[in-house]
Structure 1
Amino acid sequence: MAAPPDAPVTPPVTAGDVLSARELLTGVVRTTPVAGARALSDLTGSRVVLKCENLQRTGSFKIRGAYTRIARLCDDERAGGVVAASAGNHAQGVALAARLLGVRATVYMPERAALPKIDATRGYGAEVVLSGRTVDEAVQAAIAAAERSGAVFVHPFDHPDIIAGQGTVGCEILEQVPDAATVLIAAGGGGLLGGTAAVLRAARPDIRVVGVQAAGAAAWPSSLAAGEPLPVGAMRTMADGIAVGRPGDVTFGQVATLIDEMVTVSEDSLSAALVHCLERAKLVVEPAGAAPVAALLEHPHRWSGPIVCVLSGGNVDPLVLLQVVRHGLVASSRYLTLHVRIPDRPGALAELLARVGGLGANVTDVAHSRISGALAVGEVDVELSLETRGPEHRDAIVADLRAAGHAVATT
C-alpha cells in the first residue's frame, strides 16, 4: 500500500536527524550483525539477509530511541525522572537508558505482560507498575502519572527523538548490505519503520521499504487508506510487541510519507517464521520480530532482492515460546493430531501404532476412548499426536490409514 496522494512532503524526522542520533548512540548501542539466510534465499530466489536487532542490548532495537530521547532532556527534566509504558521491549530500553544516564524511571506495563520482561525491566533499575489490559491502556496510565508527578513521559514511538534513534538501524543496513533492494520491517507504532525509512530513502531512493503488521492487530492499512491515524478494534495476536491500537500522530506522517507498502501476516505465518528462525538461523526471535520473515513465507516472490529482514527483538516468554513453537509445527504440518477408529479388540491398538511407526511418524501421545455417541458398538476412538516430516509425509500417513480401512479425522 503506497502513501496516499495528500501525504505530507517532508517527514517529521529527516535523515540528518537520524545521523545526529547515531553520533549520540556511539558506544552505547551495539552495531548488530547481519546473517545470511540460505533457506529463505532458496525460497525466494533472491539473497535474503537478517538484521539481528534481537541481539541488541536489552534484546531489541528499543534502547536506540529510548537513550536518544532521555539523553536530550535538560537537567531539570532529568531531575524529575521519566515515565514510560510498554509491553516489554520499550520498558527495558527506557530502564537501561535511564540507568546509564542516572535518571529515575517508572515504567507502566500491561497487567498480563510477560514475567521475564517485567523482571528484566526491574533488573535494569526501573520501578514497574502494572496497569491496564493493553499497551494503550498502560500508556494512558503512564501519561496521567507523568502529569501528576511532573516527570517526562517517554512515548514508545510517537516522538521525533524516538523515531530518530530507532532509525539508526537504517544506517547500519546501508553499511552492511549496501546493495539491498527491499527492506522488511515490523510495524507497531511505526517508530522503527519510519526512522529507518528516513535514512534509507535519503541514501537510496530506489530502495523499497515495506512495513509488516500482524493481521490480528493491523491499524496501519486502514489508517494509510484514510490518510489519518485510525484506531483498530479488538486486537488478537501473539505478536504483542507490535500490537498497537492506533498509529501515532508523528509516526503517521513519517510512515505515510516514506514507505512503499504495508502488508499483514497471519498467526500461522508468525509462528512458522519463529520456528524457522530457531531451526534454520539459530536465532531466538519473538513473534513481532519474526514478522518480516513471516511476510517472506507468505509472499516468497513478491519483492526484489537482496532483501533485508529486520529481526526487531528476541524477548519472548519461554512459556509463550513453547506454545508458538507447537503452533508453528502444526502450521508447517510437522505436528499432527489424528482421530482414528479401530476395532475394540485385543491387539488392535498395537497394530495401529506399529503401522504408524512403520510409516516413519513419531508418536508423542496416545489417548484411547470407548465413550462417544459417534462410535458404533465394538469401536474405539484413538487420538494420536504425531511428529511428521511435513505436508507430504502427513498426507501419506492419512492416506495409508484410510486405505487400511480406518476412519481418520485430522485436527
Structure 2
Amino acid sequence: MTVALYTAAVAFLTYACIFAYRKAFTVATFEGQSFWGVRYQTLLIISQGLGYMASKFYGIKFISELKRLGRWKTSSVLIGLAWLCLLFFAWVPAPWGMLFLFGNGFMLGFMWGIIFSYAEGRRATDFIGAAMAVSFVFAGGFSRSVAVWLRDSWQVGEQWLGFTTGLVFAVPLIVFMFLLERVPQPDADDVKERSMRLPMTREDRKNFLRLFGGGVVAVVITYLFLTIMRDVRDNFMANMWNELGYGQKPAIFTKTETITSVVVLVVMSLLVIIRKNIKALRLIHWVIVAGFLIAGISSALFLTGYMPGVLWMQLAGLGLYMGYIPFNCIYFERLIAAFKITGNVGFLIYIADAWGYLGSMSVMLTKEIVGLQLTWIEFYPASVVIFSVIGVLATLFSLFYFSGRYKRMMPEKE
C-alpha cells in the first residue's frame, strides 16, 4: 500500500506540472486577431492539437516499444523542447506562433504514455492510474488559475503566459520526475494478477488487433466522442465561463475542476476492490455509460433552460471525465490483465488517443470553417447531447463484444 500511495502521489503531481506546459496559454483569447477567417485563438489550439494528435499516431509505435531504462532522459528532452517552443511562441509575431504550438503539442503528447509506464501492471494500478488521470482534471483548472493570476496580478502578456506559467512549475517538475524514477518495479504478485508488461513488437501489435479488432473499433468510436467533448470543453473553458459571466473569477477554474477530480478519483479508486479483471472490465463499461448519460442529460436540461450554467459545467465535466478517464488508466489495464496479454497499455491508449484527437480537431475546424453562428455555450451542449447517444450505443457494443470474447477464449475462468 505504501508503494501504491507513493506512486499515485508522485504520478499525480508530475503530470499536473506537465499540464502547465500545455494548457496555460488557453486563457489568452487574442481578441480581434484572426487569419484566413478563423480566430487566432482557435488556430493556436488547433495547431497544438494537431501536434498532439501526430504524437499519438507515432506513439502507437514509440510508446508500445518503450523500454524502462532511460525514461527520465526521454522525458527531460521532450518537456524541455516543449517549453522552448513556448519561448519561441512568445517571440514570434502572429500567426507564426502556430508552428511552435504544433511542436509543443507533439513533444508533450508522449508524456502520458511514459509516466503511465511507471504505474501499469500492478494490483493497485486502478488507484494509481485514477490518481494520475484526475491530475489533468485538476491541473487543467489549476494551471489556468495560475495563468490568470500572472496575467492580472503581474501583467504578463498573452503570448508570454504559456512560457511564464511553465517557469513557475519548472522546479517542482524536476523534483517530481526525480521521485518518479524511484518507483519500484511491479512485484511477483503484481505480475501474477495483472500479467507481465513488456515492450511490444510490430508482430505483437498485429496479433492483438487480429484477435480483438471489432472491440478495438467500438472502443475507438466511444473514445473519439469522449475526447471531442473533453477537449473542446478543456480548450475553450475560458470562453464558456466568459459567456456564462464568470470570466473575471479565476478561482472558478480550480473550484469546479477540483470537485470533479475528487468525485472521479473516488469512483475510479473503488474499482481496485474488484480483484477479478473481467468483472472490473464489465463494470467499467457501465461507469462509462453513466458518464455519457450525466453529460448528455445535463446538457439537454441546460439547453432547455432547466439547469443553471454553473451546475451544467460541473455535471458535464463530471460525466465526460467519468467516461474519459477509465480509458486512460483502468480500461486497457484490465483488458490486458483479463486476457493475460503480454504487452503494455501504452499501445492501446495511443491507438484510441490518435483517433480521438483527430475527431476533436475536426470538430473545431468544422465550427470555424463552416461558420456556425453559435456561441460556445450553444454549440458545445448541443454537441454533447448528440455524442452522448452515440457513445452509449458504442459502449454497450464493446461490453457485449469483450464479454463474448472472454467466454470463448477463457471459458474455464468465467
Shorter-chain TM-score range: under 0.3
Looking at secondary structure, tell me which structure has more strand per residue: 1
Relative to the length of structure 2, the TM-score reads: 0.24
Which of the two has higher C-alpha Rg? Answer: 1
Where relative contact order (Cα < 8 A, 6+ residues apart) is larger, the structure is 2
The alignment's TM-score, normalised by the length of structure 1, stands at: 0.24
